[in-house]
Amino acid sequence: AQTVTQSQPEMSVQEAETVTLSCTYDTSENNYYLFWYKQPPSRQMILVIRQEAYKQQNATENRFSVNFQKAAKSFSLKISDSQLGDTAMYFCAFMIDSGTYKYIFGTGTRLKVLA
């Protein structure tokens, strides 16, 4: 069975600083996708970044980047130049390329950006 682990329930960072959120997963599959979602206080889930497992290059979206280590089954999210609007719950998610498109989510990391 596939599992996703986020070992940091809560984190805080000063505005303009950089923070890294960790995520590890367990699978025997070779083809899969990894995602980071943001859930602000409004509770609307927003896709932050996506990584295909077959791509060696780490995905980047503006201030958000990932460190994808396939052998270690690690998928951390780095937020640079943190902004107050980054305060949210962040979920790591995993999806096997099997046709069902089901996600497995981690338990989330609550990030607070401090002014």
Partner 1 sequence: DGGITQSPKYLFRKEGQNVTLSCEQNLNHDAMYWYRQDPGQGLRLIYYSQIVNDFQKGDIAEGYSVSREKKESFPLTVTSAQKNPTAFYLCASSTSLGRSSDYGYTFGSGTRLTVV
Residues binding partner 1 (CB under 8 A): 4, 9, 33, 35, 42-47, 50, 52, 91, 95, 97, 99-103, 105-108
How near is the Cβ of 54 to partner 1 at its closest, in Å? 9
Give whichever of 102 and 112 is closer to partner 1, judged by the CB atom. 102
**Minimum Å distance from CB 66 to partner 1?**
14
Contacts of residues 104-108 at CB distance under 8 Å and 24 or more positions apart, as own/partner, are 104/2, 104/3, 104/4, 104/25, 105/4, 106/4, 106/5, 106/6, 106/23, 107/5, 107/6, 107/9, 108/6, 108/9, 108/39
CB of 111 to partner 1, least distance (A): 15
Judge whether 39 and 91 are in contact, CB under 8 Å.
Answer: yes
Identity of the residue, 19 or 95, whose beta carbon is nearer to partner 1 in the bound complex: 95
Residue 13 vs 95, nearer CB to partner 1: 95
Please, which residue, 85 or 99, has the CB nearer to partner 1?
99
Provide the token pair at 82. Answer: 């943190």
